Amino acid sequence: MKEFLSVADLCDVLNISKSTVHKMSSNGVIPVYKPPGSKLIYFKGSDVLAHLENGRIPSKSEIQSQTLLELSQFK
């Protein structure tokens, strides 16, 4: 992944529309980088990855393992 992504790049990476990208940026869902004096916005690749990792949903086996671990602590 590039170090910095344009709106179009981010649309391609996440398979979302430009309006969704602009909503995400204006709502502070993902950090934005804006060069001084420019109207263009960019997104840092590592910020995009962090955003995706924050939305990780554990697998059923991970949930079961965690549940068993927590239950075993009550015995």
pLDDT tens-digit map of 26-45:
999 999 999 999 999 999 99
pLDDT of 64 reads: 94
Contacts of 13 (CB under 8 A, 6+ apart): 1, 5, 48
Domain ranges of the chain: 4-72
In contact, 43 and 33? CB cutoff 8 Å: yes
In this prediction, residue 1 carries a pLDDT of 79
pLDDT value at residue 45:
95
Can you list the residues of the chain whose pLDDT is less than 70? 75
